[in-house]
Amino acid sequence: MKNEKHHSALKTSSFKDYADLIRSNFKTVLVITAVFFLATTFYAIIAPNIYTSTVSLKISAPKANILSSKMGELQDFSGLGSDRYIANEIETIYNSTILGEVAEAVVDSYYVSKKQDDFNLIFDKGLFKGKANSLKDINHIAGELRSSVVIQQKGNLDFIDITSESQSPQEAALIANIFAKKYLEFNLLENRRQVTVVKEFLSGLLKEKREQLYNVEDAIREYQLQKGGVQLDRQAQMLITKLADFESQKNITKVNMAIAKEKLNQYKSELEKKDPTVSSFLTNKSSEPYLQKLQDEIASLETQRDVALASSKTARSNEAILSEYNSKINALKDKLDKSLSEYRNQILSSSPTDIKELSQKIFEEEINYQSLNASYSSLSNVLGSYESEFNQLPSSTLEFARLERQRMAEENLYNILNNKYQEAQLNEQATPGNVFILNKANPSTKPSKPNRSMIIIMGLFLGLGFAFGFVYIKNYFDKTIKTPEDIEAQNANVLAWIPKISAEESLGLKNPELIVAQKPDSLSSEAFRTIRTRLQFSHITKGAKVILVTSSAPGEGKTTVSTNLAASFAQANKRSVIVDCDLRKPRIAALFGDDNSEGFLDYLFGRIPYEKIIKKTEVRNLDFINGGSIPPNPSEILGSPVMKAFIDKLKNDFDIVIIDSPPIMAVSDSEILARFVDICLLVVSANTSEIDWLKESISLLKQEHVNLAGVLLNNFNYRSGYHSYYKYYDQYAEKYGTTTKKGKSVKSI
């Protein structure tokens, strides 16, 4: 699997591995952490002070008015002190109507005070010309209020806190108090809404009946002026009084039906918005035949009772009538109440939670409406029975009797409506709100935020967390070779690793890439001596003299390794020669200050003698051979018998032959040359060469049955976080007085 061992190691990393990872990416961690730290510090310094003010409210269950109405039109709201009810009220405070009113009130307060320093949220702080310090429009301010005001319930209690924040402590307190005030007003209007609807309905009806009463009275006066004084006998007067009473009852019942219908329409309108299917279900339930039958019987008995009372002449007979009829009526009402209770339970059990209360109101109002309708029908029948008796009055008094009957009926109705209107007015004023201010908001003397020290600390920890995360993810997806262990994980032999040549090590050197000859006490020089020693004991003692140095890809430092390895052998009194076989990108000539004009290719083509291609270096026992004139087909030349003969000749003339060949994955030259050499060294660069490249390079060399002595890890920065290597080289440097200070590495090619 690709990078399998490397990824597996990450998954089972110890604390030491994480510490090494951080050490190896210390600069990255430091930079990212510093950026976060400086950014949050800068923000903490420039962030404006924010002040908060809180007003506390108590929300109790909605209450009915302290008066009661005989009409039954004023219903009590069932209390809902639950968390859901409180949550609904909080959302109500956030509605656009209240937000707009609060915004207007805050602006009005500014116009009154004219103290701009006490206000911040309502002003535009834009940098555009003509915009700065100008008042925002109301909608914009309302939007700002929505985000700057927090409304929360206190635990599971019926208390809420309205907390406002602003850069001005006076504005924060003002906004919180205005929010509370506007919510109180809204709540009071909402609680009185049903009563107000009834009052306004009665007001219009009262005005209409007043005009009708005036018209009837005018008609009576006109009749008396034309016909003279007309007197009704006692029997006629009693009949007219009865008719007027029953007619006024019928009319007031009609008014009650209209009020009930108005309330039903409101309830159903609300229900339609939530669940349209429930409304028809409630109507059907309230129209059950059994319920209607009981209501009709009750209405009939009540009407019969009223008729009997109207015909009664003594108090004793009145008591007997009331006792007889009321016992029957109460028995029927008990049956009706029992049936209603059963139907009510059925409705509530089948209604969704959020509409139970509304469903109950609709059901009860439907029953009330049907009861009134039954009474209206019964009263209409009674009036019909009295009409025949009324029409038998003498013709001379019948027209006046009709006018008098109408006047009395209108007068009775007007008086009842006027009483109901006055009662409705009192009920409206007597209906309390269910919200109370416990304590008002006051301007704060200390800012609540920002917590500058906490912001800086959080910035530091956030920076560290982001840096560690970035480094870990980068390392997880990084497929490059980082340590010798990564090479060993691919079942490859690590011959040695070569530390980076620091800028301090190369300082003042004529040829920094040939550090072995110019600074033999450096750590890099010691690494090449280690390679030399390992090759001597494992291969050269067995007769291996020709060493091919290649890499997986360009830029991994094979030329630097080749020249320094050759110089290291030369220092050990081995006659060494380095041959530049990287014909597509030769660098040996430039490294030793030559022009690459004459090389082994010119010798192979017979242009120059063998002795002329061997060139001396400043290092004793070290010679080099250039490539020379490059033909268009270098691979064919490198694989020819004359090339093999040339290498054999070098093998006879020198103790060590180092061949600097092209990257093996780039061209086939290295594969061809590998057939003519004794051993091969593969150079990879830490944090540059990918593991897949290493695997592919080893595979190509194995196909040619090459004796791969091992892999050299070049440019290994042991000080960047690999503790064991760092500790070893620190001890070495301390013992031999060699500097290990970090510096900029010299680019290896």
Cα–chain center distance at 138: 28
Q: Percent of the chain at pLDDT above 70?
A: 77
In this prediction, residue 82 carries a pLDDT of 62
pLDDT band at 246 (very low <50, low <70, confident <90, very high): confident
Tens digits of per-residue pLDDT, 186-196? Answer: 888 877 777 78
Tens digits of per-residue pLDDT, 561-615? Answer: 999 999 999 999 999 999 999 998 999 998 898 887 789 999 999 999 999 999 9
In this prediction, residue 30 carries a pLDDT of 92
Residue 745 · residue 503 · CB < 8 Å: yes
Number of Cβ within a 10 Å radius of residue 3 = 21
Intervals of CATH 3.40.50.300 along the chain: 484-736
Residue 647 · residue 661 · CB < 8 Å: no
Per-residue pLDDT for 387 more than 90? no
d(CA 557, CA 587): 11
Look up tokens 């003042």; give the residue: 508
In this prediction, residue 69 carries a pLDDT of 41
d(CA 324, CA 491): 113
The DSSP code for 359 is H
Average per-residue pLDDT for the chain: 80
Q: Answer whether 0.95 is exceeded by the pTM.
A: no
Provide the sign of the torsion angle of the four alpha carbons 451, 453, 459, 465, taken in this order. Answer: negative
Amino acid at 586: P
Tens digits of per-residue pLDDT, 290-315? Answer: 666 667 777 777 777 766 766 666 66
CATH code for the part of the protein at 484-736: 3.40.50.300
Cα–chain center distance at 500: 48
Nearest to 192 by CA among 357, 435, 419, 433: 433
d(CA 592, CA 564): 12
Per-residue pLDDT for 13 more than 70? no
Cα–chain center distance at 616: 73
SS3 category, 624: strand
Nearest to 60 by CA among 164, 162, 184: 184
Tens digits of per-residue pLDDT, 729-746? Answer: 555 544 444 444 444 443
Per-residue pLDDT for 499 more than 80? yes
Higher-confidence residue: 110 or 737?
Answer: 110
CA-based end-to-end distance of the chain:
30
